[in-house]
């Protein structure tokens, strides 16, 4: 099996006043040191996070930051900053050397970009900005940036009842998402069981329906949940999908999206005959799965250029645009580009 990527308990930090800057910097430094970064590289991460947090405080509305081990590499640190602020009118100018946003450390967005091992940013005037940064040591390659996912618990809950896992390789990716019924630890337990059944099985060697049946059996004795499995063949340009319950699956293109079909039921309790459906994907397409913690009333076609950005940027944009605080939320994004198309 290729790289295994799974959701963790993402800890989002509201960046609303200067006290949040120190907390973000300390978390970033701790994760960098745990990944084996030396003092210079840890300082690079800390400075970039400090500048990004300062920008959020100065200019953002509802600014937030996620700092975590990169989902595609335990040797990398990922930082995602998003807001509902005024957006950046001239992104090229903001990324230019010497340009600095007033009231911050003076490093500016261009400096942040230079300090990161990889970065992508998307900004829409009047909608806000999403910045994703990846940091590695000098001798460690950056992750492939083919898949990303985000979770966020409801309200003040510590854990999310939603989770995903993905087996990923350059040619093939298989992703599973589970929305455990309810909230809190019982729902999270159901999702953890689903992830375990997926990882311990043979995602590459099984059809989506077979994987879904395995997860269905594993959730017996738990609260159960909605589950979907998508198998993306990047070389053939197809995705095969099987879903049980209200996980939403989509093939997203720059000009719109196509929904993928799930059947009613509750994994672990009630299911109909599971069915698989095939969909065509182009190299520029994305495969998106999300729980009902995101409304289905989103449209990325009006968000200029966002579908060409890294999966982390797309996932964060969807969470900002469609996420609801009235439920746990989970969203995962896969690039459909084959190795030849991406070269």
Q: With CA atoms as reference, report the closest residue to 63 among 72, 75, 55, 51.
A: 55
Q: What does each C-alpha distance from 30 to 22, 74, 163 come to in angstroms?
A: 12, 14, 25
Spell out a b/e string for 84-101, using b for 16 or more CB atoms within 10 Å of the CB, else e: bbbbbeebeebbeeeeeb
Q: Where are the beta strands (DSSP E) in 245-309?
A: 248-253, 256-260, 265-266, 270-271, 277-280, 286-290
Q: Where do the domains of the chain lie?
A: 9-135, 147-342
Quote the pLDDT of residue 246. Answer: 95
Return the number of other C-beta atoms located less than 10 Å from residue 302's C-beta: 9
Are residues 129 and 136 in contact, defined by beta-carbon separation less than 8 angstroms?
A: no
Tally of CA atoms within 13 A in the half-sphere of 171 that contains its CB: 4
**Fold equal for 9-135 and 147-342:** no
Q: With CA atoms as reference, report the closest residue to 201 among 212, 188, 190.
A: 212
166: CB partners within 8 A, 6+ apart: 4, 5, 6, 147, 149, 173, 174, 175, 176, 332, 334
Q: What is the CA radius of gyration of the chain?
A: 19
Coil, helix or strand for 100?
coil
Find tokens 């699956």 and name the residue: 249
C-alpha 14/C-alpha 19 separation (Å) is: 11
C-alpha 67/C-alpha 13 separation (Å) is: 9
Question: pLDDT truncated to tens, each residue of the chain (343 aa)?
Answer: 578 999 988 989 999 899 999 999 999 999 999 999 999 999 999 999 999 999 898 888 889 999 999 999 999 999 999 998 788 766 666 665 544 554 443 457 778 888 999 999 999 988 899 999 999 998 899 999 999 999 999 988 889 999 999 999 999 999 999 999 999 999 999 999 999 999 999 999 999 999 999 999 999 999 999 999 999 999 999 999 999 999 999 999 988 999 999 999 999 998 878 999 999 999 999 999 999 999 999 999 889 899 999 999 999 999 999 998 789 999 999 999 865 443 3
DSSP 1-31: --EEEE-----EEE--STHHHHHHHHHHHHH
147-342 has which CATH code? 3.60.40.10
Quote the pLDDT of residue 1. Answer: 57
**In whole angstroms, what separates CA 192 from the centre of its chain?**
18
Looking at CATH, the fold of the domain delimited by 9-135 is given as Heat Shock Protein 90 (3.30.565)
The verdict on pTM exceeding 0.75 is: yes
Quote the pLDDT of residue 339. Answer: 53
Coil, helix or strand for 304?
coil
Q: With CA atoms as reference, report the closest residue to 215 among 198, 203, 230.
A: 198
C-alpha 307/C-alpha 303 separation (Å) is: 8
């Amino acid at each position: 099996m290729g790289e295994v990527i799974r959701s963790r308990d993402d800890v989002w930090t509201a960046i609303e006043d200067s006290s949040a800057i120190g907390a973000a910097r300390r978390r970033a430094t701790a994760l960098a040191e745990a990944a084996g970064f030396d003092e210079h590289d840890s300082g690079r991460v800390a400075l970039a996070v400090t500048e990004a947090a300062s920008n959020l405080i100065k200019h953002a509305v509802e600014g937030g930051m996620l700092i975590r081990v990169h989902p595609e590499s335990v040797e990398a640190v990922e930082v995602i900053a998003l807001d509902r602020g005024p957006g950046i009118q001239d992104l090229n100018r903001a990324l230019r050397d010497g340009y600095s946003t007033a009231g911050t450390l003076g490093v500016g967005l261009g400096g942040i970009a230079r300090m990161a091992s990889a970065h992508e940013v998307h900004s829409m005037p009047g909608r806000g900005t999403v910045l994703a940064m990846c940091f590695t040591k000098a001798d460690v390659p950056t992750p492939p940036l083919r898949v990303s996912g985000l979770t966020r618990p409801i309200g003040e809950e510590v854990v999310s009842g939603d989770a995903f896992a993905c087996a990923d390789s350059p040619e093939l990716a298989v992703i599973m998402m589970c929305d455990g019924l309810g909230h809190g630890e019982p729902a999270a337990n159901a999702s953890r069981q689903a992830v375990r059944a997926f990882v311990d099985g043979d995602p590459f060697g099984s059809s989506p329906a077979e994987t879904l049946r395995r997860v269905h059996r594993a959730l017996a004795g738990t609260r159960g949940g909605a589950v979907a499995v998508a198998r993306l063949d990047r070389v053939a340009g197809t995705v095969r999908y099987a879903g049980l319950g209200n996980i939403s699956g989509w093939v997203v293109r720059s000009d719109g999206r196509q929904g993928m079909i799930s059947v009613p039921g509750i994994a672990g309790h009630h299911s109909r005959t599971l069915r698989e459906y095939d969909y065509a994907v182009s190299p520029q397409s994305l495969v998106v799965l999300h729980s009902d913690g995101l409304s289905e009333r989103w449209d990325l076609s009006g968000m200029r250029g966002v579908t060409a950005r890294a999966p982390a940027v797309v996932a964060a944009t969807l969470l900002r645009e469609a996420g609801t605080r009235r439920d746990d939320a989970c969203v995962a994004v896969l690039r459909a580009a084959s190795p030849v198309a991406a070269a």
